[in-house]
């Protein structure tokens, strides 16, 4: 999470959406940089609303806008799958060594979700709260130029990004049947992703989301 107090902007870090590169590039420009523990570094909107928003409002008398990045849902699952196949994951209960991508996605769709496929939900991470707190600016991972232009204009910086925390490259493809099942079971994820406009705004408010633990 990155906080730019003067600009009244909080950058929430959705896992597997390239936010580590922005954290590295903007750490010196931010007023607060939360890198640890992961529960706070990757604080979802509901946690931000419960703990951070009241602090800014009550202590600083400030209303902050929120910013986040969302990845195409199947690509997002692929990033998690590849991350959990890294060598250091071998022997860990949530490793994906010896598991195909199809098997990983099928497991993700199960209830309850097995540990190796329990990676949460982007829609749940970004879900608007009953008090009206919502993501103000939402960008697609696949369109970094739009996010970069927004940040450079809002913060008055020139970004110089490096690749960070990159998972091993591999070709991943799902069977058409499994793609259809994923779109049915995770419909809120796809609806939210498809609602993101070119200007970095989303039109879905209060949509139900899949919770994978």
pLDDT digits (tens, 9 = 90+) for 87-135: 889 889 899 999 999 999 999 999 999 999 999 999 999 999 999 999 9
CB neighbours of 82 closer than 8 A, spacing ≥ 6? Answer: 167, 168, 169, 170, 172
DSSP-derived pairing of the beta strands 32-33 and 9-11: unpaired
Q: Return the bridge partners of 4, or none.
A: 9
Weakest mean pLDDT among 25-29, 94-98, 143-147, 195-199: 195-199
Q: How many residues does the chain have?
A: 213
pLDDT of 99 reads 93
DSSP-derived pairing of the beta strands 65-70 and 9-11: parallel
Cα 141–chain centre separation? 9
pLDDT of 212 reads 36
DSSP-derived pairing of the beta strands 65-70 and 137-140: parallel
Checking if the pLDDT of 163 tops 70, the result is: yes
The mean pLDDT value of the chain amounts to 91
Q: How confident is the model at residue 213 (pLDDT cuts 50, 70, 90)?
A: very low
Contact criterion met (CB below 8 Å) for 115 and 89: no
The tens digit of pLDDT for each residue in 165-198 reads 666 678 898 999 999 999 999 999 999 999 998 7
The larger pLDDT score, comparing residue 202 to residue 141, is at 141
* Average pLDDT value for residue range 82-88: 92
pLDDT of 197 reads 81
* Average pLDDT value for residue range 200-206: 53
pLDDT of 205 reads 45
């Amino acid at each position: 999470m990155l906080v730019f107090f003067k600009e009244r902007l909080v950058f929430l870090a959705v896992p597997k959406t390239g936010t580590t590169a922005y954290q590295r590039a903007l750490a010196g420009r931010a007023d607060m940089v939360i890198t640890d523990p992961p529960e706070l570094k990757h604080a979802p909107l509901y946690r931000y609303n419960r703990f951070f928003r009241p602090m800014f409002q009550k202590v600083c008398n400030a209303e902050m806008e929120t910013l986040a990045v969302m990845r195409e849902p199947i690509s997002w699952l692929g990033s998690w799958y590849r991350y959990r196949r890294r060598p250091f994951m071998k022997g860990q209960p949530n490793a994906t060594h010896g598991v195909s991508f199809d098997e990983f996605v099928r497991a993700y769709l199960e209830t309850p979700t097995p540990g190796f496929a329990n990676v949460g939900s982007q829609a749940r991470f970004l879900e608007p709260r009953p008090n009206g707190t919502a993501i103000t600016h939402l960008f697609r991972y696949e369109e970094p130029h739009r996010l970069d232009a927004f940040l450079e204009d809002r913060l008055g910086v020139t970004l110089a990004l490096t690749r960070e925390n990159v998972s091993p490259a591999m070709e991943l493809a799902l069977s058409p049947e499994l793609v259809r099942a994923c779109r049915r079971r995770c419909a809120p994820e796809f609806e939210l992703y498809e609602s993101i406009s070119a200007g970095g705004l989303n039109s879905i408010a209060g949509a139900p989301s899949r919770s994978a633990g």
